[in-house]
Structure 1
Amino acid sequence: MSGANFILLINLSVAGLLAASFMAVAFHDVGRAPARWFASGYVLGMAYSAIEFSIPAFTDARLPVVTAFAVFLGATIAFNVGLARKYGVAPPWSPMLFFLVAATIVVYFVQDLPRQSLGRMMAYQLPYAVMQFVGLAIVWSSRQRRGRLDRILMAVLAASAVQFASKPFIAHALGGWGANPQAYLQSNYALVSQSLGTVFALAMALLTLAILVGDVLAEVTSRSETDTLSRLLNRGAFTRQAEQAVLGAMRQGVPVALVIADLDHFKSINDNFGHASGDQVIEAFAGFLRAAAAGHHVAGRIGGEEFAIILTGTNLAAARLFAEGTRSAFGALPIDGLPADISCTASFGVAELHPGETIADLMRRADEALYLAKNAGRDCVRVSAGPGGEWSSSAIAINSRSA
């Protein structure tokens, strides 16, 4: 068995293992369309290797050669569709399928050219290079934030495109790719070509697997940190992310404020109208905080009917205005499942981080302000005193009841 035959068998096995790996990722979450497309690409890669391995058994190799070409080009298209699904880009179906048909027709007719002609070699390799550049363009055009692995994947796609485009010249330098298709696997070029194919196939597969697994882990983490009903962070996740937000604000030298809210008379809503109506109230209030957070702030459900939001880059006065706006809008919001004459309200405590304080100090003072709001009759906003407990004249001015 020649070295190229051995590498081809390795490629067949590796493609099978990679297809199984992507299917395992897809099985973990049936919504993982990218993983299914990547798996399909490597299944087609297996088929390509099997066809290449069988070519020496054919007297007239035109059909298996053209079939192998089309199957491998189809594998690159499936991979590109997986990339498009992963990066939220519309797959360029029409151009890719048209290119597949056109390139296959060209390869069929160039079989009549001299085997060692540069034109024939380029007709066979350049379409693969084009598909790799299409994959690169898909990742590049994505509006998703690209991390280090995404940038490495783009570099590997570019390098793979270059190696496909350079293969005709490599073949020429190594004395050609065999006197006929049956002799291809005995050539030095076949050994180099199949080895390069293995390296790039593995590199792209491992990178895409790492990216997909990272997405799965991030989703699992998000689910474990997210309150199911409100779709806000749970208390533990809120505390951790609030600490990071506070540290980031301190490093940047920007203000940071905390607003804690408690739904008024929530138990009576559950008792009088049922837990389903209570859930609607929680979902409605959480919607205000989700909209306010919008990727810039940290919001969470820290108790049964208690919520909190860290507002970075926000001072005490602005945080108080945010709380007032939320209080007013929530009080006017009709809630599904409740009579039209029943309005829901919330009480708010607001505090701004002072130098030398920790997130625990900030939460304690916001809690104290919330306690004052509830004692003042609820449906109002109260702001915290400074760390020493003194109330400045400005704090007193904005501490008046808003209801």
Structure 2
Amino acid sequence: MSGANFILLINVSVAGLLAASFMAVALHEAGRASPRWLAFGYLLGMVYFAIEFSIPAFDNARPVVVVAFAVFLGATIAFNGGLAHKYGVAPPWTPMLFFLVATSVAVYFVQDLPRQSLVRMMAYQLPYAVMQFIGLAIVWSSKQRHARLDRILMAVLAASGVQFASKPFIAHALGGWGANPQAYLQSSYALVSQSLGTVFGLALALLMLAILVRDLLAEVTSKSETDTLSRLLNRGGFTRRAELAVLGAVRQGVPVALVIADLDHFKSVNDSFGHASGDRVIETFAGFLREAAAGHHVSGRIGGEEFAIILPGTNLAAARLFAEGTRSAFSALPIDGLPADNRCTASFGVAELHPSEAFADLMRRADQALYQAKNAGRDCVRVSAGPDGNWSSAGIEAEARRV
């Protein structure tokens, strides 16, 4: 058995295992099309390698060669479909399928050219390169590409496209791809070609598996950290994200403030109007926080009717204005399910991180400020004294007027 035959057998097994791996992901994520298309692509790849292995058994290999070409090009189209679904891009099915038909016809007729003709070799390999660059364009055009793995995937797709485009020249340099289709697997080019196919096919599959698993873990983490009713982070999720936000602000040398809010007389809302109305109050207030928060803010529901938002890049005065604006807008808002003249209010505590403080210290001071707001009659904002106790209301008011 030649080296190319051996690698071809390995490719059949590897493609089958990869197809099974993507199918396992697809079964776990039944609502997502991406892993199903990727599984189908590698299943077609397995069929292609099996056809390649069987070509020497045919006296007239011309139709078999065309079928093998179409199957492998179909595998790259299915892979691009998986990419498109993963990255939220509309799959270009019509142009890709038209390209499949047109190039398959071209491959049928170019077999009338001399076997070692560069044009004939390019007609067979360039369509594969085009599909790899279409895959690159799909990832590049997506708004969801933002991580290192996505950039590595684009680099590998580009390299794979280049290796397909260069194969005719590699074949020419190595003395061709055999005197006939039956002799292909005995050629030096076949060994190189199959080896390159193994490397790039496996690299792309492993990258896609890593990306799918990454996104799956991120979704599981997000669900475990999200409060179902408010759709904000729960206490554990908020604490983890807020600590990271505080560390980032400290590294950048920018201020960071924390606002804690508590819905006033919330128990009486539940007792008087029912828990459904209480839930709507929570949903409404959470919606206020989501709309008011910037992309780098971190907001969460940290208790039954208690909420918090961390504001990186925000000093104490600006955080107090944020709290006052939220308090005022929420108190004027009618709530579905409550009488028209009934208004819900919230109390707020605000604190700014001071040097040498930890996030837990910031939480403690903001909570103390919230306690003061409730003691002051509720529906108001109070700010925390600094760790040294030197903050004064007059000083805070003056700073707020300068913002």
The normalised TM-score by structure 2 is 0.94
1:50 match: 50
Q: Is the 8 A contact 1:40 1:75 kept in 2?
A: yes
Deviations for 1:117-164, whole angstroms, at most 9, x for unmatched residues? 111110000010111111112222222243222222112111111111
Partner of 2:307: 307
- Contact 1:225 1:237 (8 Å CA) reproduced: yes
Length, aligned pairs only: 400
C-alpha separation between the residues in 2 aligned to 1:76 and 1:145? 20
Task: Please give the alpha-carbon distance, in whole angstroms, between the structure 1 residues aligned to 2:145 and 2:380.
Answer: 40
5+ residue gaps, structure 1, are none
**Would you say the 8 A contact 1:383–1:399 is kept in 2?**
no
- Tell me, in whole angstroms, the C-alpha distance in 2 between the residues paired with 1:396 and 1:150: 46
Distance in 2 separating the partners of 1:309 and 1:393: 22
CA–CA distance in structure 2, aligned partners of residues 149 and 19 of structure 1: 21
Correspondence 1:170-209 to 2 at 5 A: 170-209=170-209
The residue aligned with 2:331 is 331
Task: Give the Cα separation in 2 of the matches to 1:340 and 1:56.
Answer: 83
- Quote how far apart the aligned CAs of 1:4 are: 1.8
Partner residue, 2:290: 290
Residue 127 of structure 2 corresponds to 127
Closer, same or farther: CA 244–118 of 1 in aligned 2, 3 Å: same
Q: Tell me, what secondary structure is at the counterpart of 1:337? A: coil
2:229 pairs with 1:218: no
Instruction: Give the residue type in structure 2 aligned to 1:95.
Output: P
* Counterpart residue number, 1:259: 259
1:138 aligned onto 2:138: yes
Contact map agreement 2:350 2:366 (CA 8 A) in 1 = yes
Change in Cα spacing, 1:272 to 1:360, as seen in structure 2 (3 Å) is: same
Match of residue 103 from structure 2: 103
Cα deviation code 1:278-334 (max 9, x no counterpart): 222111111122223343111111111100000111111211111111112222223
Q: Given the superposition, is the C-alpha separation of residues 175 and 145 from structure 1 closer, same or farther in structure 2, using an over 3 Å criterion?
A: closer
Query: 1:383-394 residue pairs with structure 2 within 5 A?
Result: 383-394=383-394
**Does the 8 Å CA contact 1:383/1:395 hold for their aligned counterparts?**
no
Amino acid at match of 1:335: I
Q: Secondary structure at the match of 1:185?
A: helix
What is the identity, as a one-letter code, of the residue corresponding to 1:193?
S
Partner of residue 115, structure 2: 115
What is the aligned-residue identity percentage?
84
Q: Distance in 1 between matches of 2:26 and 2:295?
A: 28
For residues 67-90 of structure 1, the C-alpha deviation after alignment (integer angstroms, 9 at most, x for no partner) is: 111111111111112112222222
1:241-287 C-alpha deviation (Å, 9 max, x unpaired): 22221122122121111100001111112222222222221111111
AA matched with 1:108? Y
CA contact (8 A) 2:317 2:396 kept: no
Question: Contact 1:256–1:313 (CA<8 Å) still a contact in 2?
Answer: yes
State the Cα distance separating 1:391 from its structure 2 match.
Answer: 4.1
